[in-house]
Amino acid sequence: MKLSEHLADYDSDVRDTILQIADTCVRISKGFASRQSQSDTQNVYGETQMALDKWADQVLIEDLRESGLVKYLASEEQPDILEFDSQGDLGITLDPLDGSSLIGVNLAVGTIVGIYKGGILMPGQMMVGALYVLYGPLTTLTYTLKKGVHEFVLDDTGQFVLQEESIRIPEGKIFAPGALRKNYLAGHLKWIEALEADGYKIRFSGSFVADVHQILHKGGVFTYPGLVGNEQGKLRLLFEGNPMGFIVTEAGGATSDGRRSLLAIQPNAVSHRVPIYIGGKREINLIENINKEGYE
């Protein structure tokens, strides 16, 4: 089944926006070889932008502006929410390219998208849906519009065709622990030690979207925690935590900032950073229970 057929029964603006993003991402997937260099600019987070970060951002913004379907657009590569002339009221968040520092070593990177109605700065639980495209040995598109999580693969004819429907996160003993151990907060360290004692194996590539994709399919948990001296951590609620957390939650998993679901958090700005835990309910309940016991 093709992506367009799978989306047939959904709201036409949402369906057409997803199909537009899918087309743009196919174009992005062909643009890597000639855009591997670093640019001489930084984003609002002080991170050096890869040429591909900026190009992917530009093509996605232009295509979505021209579609006339999108009213609000927030991108990790833009300082503020963009507002377009549109009859519709869809809000889109973009991490145009997540994991881009890994392009030079040919590891999987991806495009992460959140879909909202009537705005963007609202808790993630109010999202209409979310999707990500993963550029790896396969180019896959995984989406949810709150009726299950479904994965498509780009075939030889350039079509996204159904690979797996109604994905459920299994139980699995792998974990993707971002950041430096020496900076762990006490509760997080206690949690990591509990996972290690229980035989969890590290599977961490440094690409959030690829690491969470692996957790979705094999179980376990991804974390980029709050740290000593940096309690909000590194990853962004709007561009990374909410869309991927929404998808994993829809697949039967859960998300947390260590105390409550990411999807319940009211963003204070597009740049809102949060500690991130995304994975199986078991692992998420464990960190929240440890923190409730008062381990700061």
Stretch of 98-106, 119-127, 241-249, 286-294 lying at the interface with ligand AHG (CB under 6 A): 98-106
Q: Which is nearer to ligand AHG, 184 or 208 (CB)?
A: 208
Tell whether residue 47 is a contact of ligand AHG (CB under 6 A): yes
* Contacts for 259 with CB less than 8 Å, ≥ 6 apart: 288, 291, 292
Return the number of other C-beta atoms located less than 10 Å from residue 84's C-beta.
Answer: 18
Among 135, 143, 200, 224, binds ligand AHG (CB under 6 A): 224
Are 247 and 129 in contact, with CB atoms under 8 Å apart? no
Q: Which of residues 85-114 bind Mn ion (CB under 5 A)?
A: 95, 97-98
Q: Which of residues 160-199 bind ligand AHG (CB under 6 A)?
A: 178
Q: How far is the CB of 104 from ligand AHG (least distance, A)?
A: 12
Among 88, 91, 99, 114, binds ligand AHG (CB under 6 A): 99
Q: Which of residues 196-225 bind Mn ion (CB under 5 A)?
A: none
Among 73, 234, 243, 253, binds ligand AHG (CB under 6 A): 234
* Contacts for 104 with CB less than 8 Å, ≥ 6 apart: 36
What tokens does 290 get? 């440890």
Q: How far is the CB of 234 from ligand AHG (least distance, A)?
A: 6
Cα dihedral 196, 198, 203, 206, rounded to 10, equals -50
Q: Which is nearer to ligand AHG, 76 or 283 (CB)?
A: 76
Task: Select from 251, 23, 21, 247 the least CA-distant residue to 130.
Answer: 247
Among 140, 207, 214, 261, binds ligand AHG (CB under 6 A): 207
> Can you list the alpha helix ranges (DSSP code H) found in the chain?
3-6, 12-29, 51-67, 186-197, 208-218, 242-250, 281-292
Rounded to whole angstroms, the Cα distance separating 43 from 14 reads 29
Residues lying near ligand AHG in the complex (CB under 6 A): 47, 76, 95, 98-101, 178, 206-208, 224, 234
Residues lying near Mn ion in the complex (CB under 5 A): 76, 95, 97-98
